Structure 1
Amino acid sequence: MKLADIRPLATLVLFASTPLFASDNPGAHQHGHAEVQIAISHDRVDLIFTSPAHNLLGFEHEARTEAQKQRLLNVQDWLSTTPLINTADASCLVKDATADIASMAEGDDHEENHQHHDAPPRQRHADVEVTQVLNCPGVGSATELTTDLPDRFPGIDQLDIDWIDSAGQASIRLPSGETRFSLAR
Structure 2
Amino acid sequence: MRRLLLALPFALLPLAIAHAADEHDHDHDHEHGSLGAHEHGVGRLNAALDGQTLELELESPAMNLVGFEHVASTEADKTKVAAARAQLEKPLVLFSLPAAAGCKVVSQELESPLFGDKPQADDHDDDEADKGGHEHHHDHSEIHAHYQFNCTAPGALKTLDLANIFNTFPATQKIQVQLISASGQQGTEVTAKAASLKF
Written as runs of structure 1 = structure 2, the 5 A alignment for 1:72-151 is 72-83=81-92, 84-89=94-99, 91-101=102-112, 103-105=113-115, 110=119, 113=124, 115=126, 117-118=130-131, 119-120=134-135, 124-147=139-162, 148-151=164-167
- 2:189 maps to what in 1? 173
* Structure 2 unaligned regions, length at least 5: 10-16
- 2:7 maps to what in 1? 14
Shift, 1:121, TM fit: 6.6
CA distance in 2, matches of 1:80, 1:114: 31
Letter in 1 for 2:90: T
Moved more, 25-34 or 119-128: 119-128
Shift, 1:78, TM fit: 1.8
* Structure 1 unaligned regions, length at least 5: 1-5
Q: Describe the shift of the 1:114–1:46 C-alpha distance in structure 2 as closer, same or farther (beyond 3 A).
A: farther
Aligned residues of 1:34 and 1:158 also touching (Cα < 8 A): yes
Aligned residues of 1:88 and 1:146 also touching (Cα < 8 A): no
- Cα deviation digits, residues 26-46 of structure 1 (max 9, x gap): 330000000110110233211
- 1:3 maps to what in 2? none
Q: Describe the shift of the 1:174–1:98 C-alpha distance in structure 2 as closer, same or farther (beyond 3 A).
A: same
CA distance in 2, matches of 1:135, 1:86: 15
CA RMSD of the aligned region, Å? 2.9
Moved segments of 4+, more than 6 Å: none
Aligned residues of 1:36 and 1:159 also touching (Cα < 8 A): yes
CA distance in 2, matches of 1:95, 1:19: 20
Letter in 2 for 1:129: H
CA distance in 2, matches of 1:13, 1:19: 7
Q: Count residues with an aligned counterpart.
A: 174
Aligned residues of 1:150 and 1:177 also touching (Cα < 8 A): no
- Percent identity over the alignment is 22
1:158 aligns with 2:192: no
